[in-house]
């Protein structure tokens, strides 16, 4: 006999909106330049008890990691909403542009968030895994990549693209890269990583 999947608990269903309220409040505080907010400040902004942010996240660092996860989810959703493209190269560049737009939509929030998640933490998050999954989604089945190297490309490129995009973001967050250079620089490094895996006779123009 097949067991039906147990429904989510009532407390879990109640908990998710509260988590989102806390994250929304953190974004508002970061957006007005209050990156050093306390958990008490956060609770007040979210309209919840002082213990609530701790109960749901455990620490301020975990809240920043959750904000990063929220950003990557938005990137994947926005990418999935775009018209489908047949070649992996074009999809990766689309994902790059999409990710850059998401980061530029709230620059103050995202710079502060990047500053937090770039520091060592006793409880590391899953930012690399989430970012790698985004680039795997963009690569798809590797259409347009050299057939003999396609398996290797699909194995190593997602993580390399995650490293590359994070590197560009780090210079942007530090103020060394202006807003209007974020997407072009991210596209340039993604294109460089893809070059070794693209069929030469069908190599696209990275500047289109």
| Mean pLDDT of all residues in 14-39 | 90
pLDDT at residue 3 greater than cutoff 70: no
Cβ contacts of residue 175 below 8 Å, gap of 6+? none
If you write DSSP's letter for every residue of 82-98 in order, what string do you get?
A: SPP-SSHHHHHHHHHHH
Q: How many residues does the chain have?
A: 208
Tens digits of residue pLDDT in 7-16: 333 344 356 7
Tens digits of residue pLDDT in 98-131: 999 999 999 999 999 999 888 756 666 788 999 9
CA torsion, points 64, 10, 52, 173, in degrees to nearest 10? 10
pLDDT computed for residue 16 by the predictor: 72
| Mean pLDDT of all residues in 164-177 | 96
End-to-end CA distance of the chain: 56
pLDDT at residue 206 greater than cutoff 50: no
The structure tokens 């998401």 sit at 102
Mean pLDDT of the chain: 88
pLDDT at residue 2 greater than cutoff 70: no
Instruction: Kindly indicate the confidence band of residue 187, based on its pLDDT and cuts at 50, 70 and 90.
Output: very high
């Amino acid at each position: 006999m097949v067991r039906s999947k147990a429904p989510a608990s009532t407390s879990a269903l109640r908990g998710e909106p509260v988590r989102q309220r806390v994250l929304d409040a953190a974004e508002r505080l970061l957006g007005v330049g209050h990156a050093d907010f306390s958990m008490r400040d956060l609770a007040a902004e979210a309209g919840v008890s002082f213990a609530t942010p701790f109960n749901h996240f455990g620490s301020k660092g975990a809240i920043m990691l959750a904000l990063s996860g929220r950003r990557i989810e938005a990137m994947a959703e926005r990418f999935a909403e775009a018209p489908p493209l047949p070649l992996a190269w074009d999809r990766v560049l689309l994902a790059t542009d999409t990710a850059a737009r998401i980061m530029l939509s709230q620059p103050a929030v995202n710079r502060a968030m990047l500053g937090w998640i770039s520091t060592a933490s006793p409880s590391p998050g899953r930012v690399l895994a989430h970012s790698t999954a985004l680039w795997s989604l963009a690569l798809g089945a590797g259409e347009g990549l050299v057939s003999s190297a396609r398996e290797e490309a699909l194995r190593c490129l997602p993580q390399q693209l995650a490293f590359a995009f994070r590197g560009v973001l780090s210079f942007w967050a530090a103020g060394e890269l202006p807003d209007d250079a974020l997407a072009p620089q991210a596209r340039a490094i993604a294109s460089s990583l893809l070059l070794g895996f693209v069929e030469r006779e069908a190599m696209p123009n990275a500047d289109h």
